[in-house]
Structure formats: C-alpha cells, structure tokens
Amino acid sequence: MDRPQPSSPILLFDSGVGGLSVLAALREVLPQAPVIYAADIAGLPYGTKTEAEVAARVCGLLGRMAERFHPRLICIACNTASTIALGMVREVLEIPIVGTVPAIKPAAAITRSGTIGLLGTEATVRQRYVDDLEARFGNGHVLLRQAAPGLVEAAEAKLRGAPADPAAIAQSVAALRGQPGGEAIDTVVLACTHFPLLRDELAAELGAGVTLVDGAEGIARRIAALTEGQAFARDRADRAITTGSIEDFRALAPAFARHGIGDLAAF
C-alpha cells in the first residue's frame, strides 16, 4: 500500500453515535489526525438484524465510503458489526481495518470474584467470535452475557439531550444480575460502543465494587500503532456523515462539537 497523503482521514464507522466513545480515546493519542465519522443511522439498530443483513450492509457501505473518502484506515467502531463482518471487510478492502471486540481479556485480568458480566446487543452476545474470545482470554472465569438492546436507544437519546431511560438501565442490569451466579459479578464488559456513553448511569445501577470495562483505549492504541510514522494534516474540518435524515442528524451537533466535529452531512 502506498504511503497515505497527510490529509487522508481515519474513518470511524458505527451504526449510530456509539463510536464517539472510540473517537474520544482516539483524540487522546492522535489529536492531529483528520477524522471522518460515519453513522449508519438508517441501518440502526444492528443488534436485531441477522448476520447476513449486517454483513451485507457493512461491507457495501464501507466499500462505497472507501472509494469516496480514500481513508488511510477504517475503524469499525461497533462490536456487532465487527464480530460479524470484520473478516469480510478485510478481504474486500486493501487498507488497514481495525475492529472492536468485547474487552474480555482486560476484564479477566482484573476480576476478583471470577464472575464477569457482559452487556451487548442481541447479535453480539450470540456470536461464535465471543465464544472464542472467552475460550482464549477468559482465564477460566465465569462469563455471563446479557443482551441489552434498550441501552442503544438510551445512549442515542442521551446524546440528543434527552434523559437516558432509567427503566432501560434498570432492566438491563436486573436481567444480568438475575442470571444464576449473577450476584457475584464484580466486573462488567460494555460490549457495545454505545454503552460507555451510559457509564455513569450503569455504574450507579450496578453499585459500588463493580468495575466497568470497554475497549476504546485499546482500539485507539491499535490505530496509533498502525499509523505510526505517518504524516497528518487537515485540509478541511473534521466531519460526520450519516445514511439517515440529515435533519435528525443535526440534533446531534452539540455532541459532535464536543469531539471537534462541526461539519455534518448526508452520505
């Protein structure tokens, strides 16, 4: 692959705004990097779709975005899309692709009780990919998985200035805790990039003594390693694009502005 132009962006792709948790971590290690944030809001939510639907949609969109924007690297800042389509996207595109996977390895390293909870979308929690991560990095600990689709909507609402639905928070935590052995959980993996946006609410509901773990910092470090030695220069403001309604997308302008993005457009 030829060395990228300094203005060639890093493309962060998510089904919605959950990837902002990854962008925040990326800004810490590569503040000078030009970024395009791509939100497939027309396809939201991914968690209720079939694996075939997610794979076809993600591969198709990223192919078109790569042709249009010529990114130096693509980060699939979505656990569901990564666990389903990461391998396929890497086969199709000849640029570095960084995925987002549940942070089971760091959770296994810090649990004291040996019981780890995992909150994700319906599609993520059932993936063989997660089975493999548990087998490789779980250190024999108990991993209790819980689908929490309501948290995606709660996070999206929060970024639009509405209160996060407390019932969705309470229901998700109760379902996780209600599993056999759930009372022993002392570490919870946030296996959807939307969920760290609800960190305060989840921490309050889970109670003291429970550590929340997500993969954003590790993803940022991986992007930094893959782009080490490359030149960065912006020839325009960082931007966010959406497959959905641009009018609705503009309601998220304050959230994007907090991350240095002021240019919102339709894809």
Active site residues: 78, 192
Cα separation of 51 and 6, whole Å? 36
Residue 137, C-beta contacts closer than 8 angstroms, at least 6 positions apart:
104, 105, 108
Contact status, residue 197 vs residue 20, Cβ threshold 8 Å: yes
**DSSP assignment, residue 41?**
G
Cα separation of 122 and 83, whole Å? 12
Q: What is the DSSP string of 98-121?
A: E-----HHHHHHH-SSSEEEEEE-
Q: Token digits for 70?
A: 């010529």
Strands 142-147 and 187-190: unpaired
What φ, ψ does residue 75 adopt, rounded to 5°? Answer: -110, 120
Contact status, residue 8 vs residue 66, Cβ threshold 8 Å: no
Name residue 176's beta-bridge partners: none
What φ, ψ does residue 241 adopt, rounded to 5°? Answer: -125, 155
Contact status, residue 126 vs residue 217, Cβ threshold 8 Å: no
